Amino acid sequence: MNVTVTGAAGQIGYALLFRIASGQLLGPTTPVNLTMLEIPEGLAAAEGTALELQDCAFPLLRAVTVTADPVRAFDGVNIALLVGSRPRAVGMERVGLLESNGRIFGPQGAALNAGAAADVRVLVVGNPANTNALVASAFAPDIPAARFTAMTRLDHNRGVAQLAAKLGVHVDQVRGLSVWGNHSALQYPDVNHATVGGIPVTDLVDEGWLVDEFIPRVAGRGYEIITARGASSAASAASAAIDHVHDWVNGTGDQWTSAAIVSDGSYGVPAGLFSSFPVRGVDGRWEIVQGLSINAFARARIDASVAELTEEREHVRALGLLP
Ligand code: NAI
Q: Are 153 and 257 spatial neighbours (Cβ–Cβ below 8 Å)?
A: yes
Average pLDDT, the chain: 97
Would you say residue 92 has pLDDT above 90? no
Residue 141: Cβ within 10 Å count: 12
Name the closest-CA residue to atom 30, ligand 1.
126
Q: What is the pLDDT confidence band of residue 14, given thresholds at 50, 70 and 90?
A: very high
Q: What is the pLDDT confidence band of residue 30, given thresholds at 50, 70 and 90?
A: very high
Q: What is the pLDDT confidence band of residue 89, given thresholds at 50, 70 and 90?
A: confident
Is 94 annotated as ligand-binding? yes
Q: Are 253 and 247 spatial neighbours (Cβ–Cβ below 8 Å)?
A: no
Name the closest-CA residue to atom 3, ligand 1.
10
Q: Are 219 and 187 spatial neighbours (Cβ–Cβ below 8 Å)?
A: yes
Q: Is 21 helix (H, G, I), strand (E, B) or coil?
A: helix
Domains and CATH numbers, the chain: 2-150 (3.40.50.720), 153-311 (3.90.110.10)
Q: Give me the residues paired with residue 134 across strands.
A: none
Cα–Cα distance between 200 and 136 in angstroms, integer?
38
Cα–Cα distance between 117 and 78 in angstroms, integer?
6
Find out whether the beta carbon of 15 lies less than 6 Å from any atom of ligand 1. Answer: no
Phi/psi region, residue 23 (left: phi>0; alpha: psi -120 to 50; beta: rest), is: left
Q: Are strands 121-124 and 79-82 parallel, antiparallel or unpaired?
A: parallel
Name the closest-CA residue to atom 20, ligand 1.
38
The confidence score (pLDDT) of residue 265 equals 98
Would you say residue 286 has pLDDT above 90? yes
Cα–Cα distance between 293 and 295 in angstroms, integer?
6
Q: Is the dihedral of CA 173, 190, 285, 120 positive or negative?
A: negative
Helices (H), 3-118: 11-21, 43-55, 70-73, 94-115
Q: What is the tens place of the pLDDT at every residue in 37-57?
A: 999 999 999 999 999 999 999
Q: What is the tens place of the pLDDT at every residue in 130-174?
A: 999 999 999 999 999 999 999 999 999 999 999 999 999 999 999
Q: Are 135 and 321 spatial neighbours (Cβ–Cβ below 8 Å)?
A: yes
Helix 235-250 and helix 153-167: axis angle, to 10°? 100
Residue 246 bears catalytic tag: no
Q: Cα(177) to centroid of ligand 1, in Å?
A: 27
For the segment 237-248, the average pLDDT, to the nearest whole number, is 98
Residue 282: Cβ within 10 Å count: 11
% of the chain beyond a pLDDT of 90: 96
Cα–Cα distance between 274 and 26 in angstroms, integer?
24
Query: Looking at this protein, which amino acid is placed at residue 16?
Result: L
Q: What is the tens place of the pLDDT at every residue in 255-277?
A: 999 999 999 999 999 999 999 99
Q: Are 178 and 289 spatial neighbours (Cβ–Cβ below 8 Å)?
A: yes
The confidence score (pLDDT) of residue 93 equals 82
Please enumerate in sequence order all residues whose Cβ is within 8 A of that of 260, keeping only pairs 6 or more positions apart, or say none.
129, 130, 133, 149, 150, 151, 152, 182, 183, 274, 275, 276, 277
Q: Is 233 helix (H, G, I), strand (E, B) or coil?
A: coil
Find out whether the beta carbon of 81 lies less than 6 Å from any atom of ligand 1. Answer: no
The confidence score (pLDDT) of residue 49 equals 98
The confidence score (pLDDT) of residue 76 equals 98
Q: What is the pLDDT confidence band of residue 95, given thresholds at 50, 70 and 90?
A: confident
Q: Cα(7) to centroid of ligand 1, in Å?
A: 5
Distances (CA, A) of 95 to 65, 89, 92, 219: 34, 12, 8, 21
The interface pTM score, or ipTM, of the predicted complex is 0.99
Cα–Cα distance between 292 and 23 in angstroms, integer?
35
Q: Which numbered atom of ligand 1 lies nearest the CA of 45?
A: 9
Q: Are 250 and 281 spatial neighbours (Cβ–Cβ below 8 Å)?
A: yes
Find out whether the beta carbon of 61 lies less than 6 Å from any atom of ligand 1. Answer: no
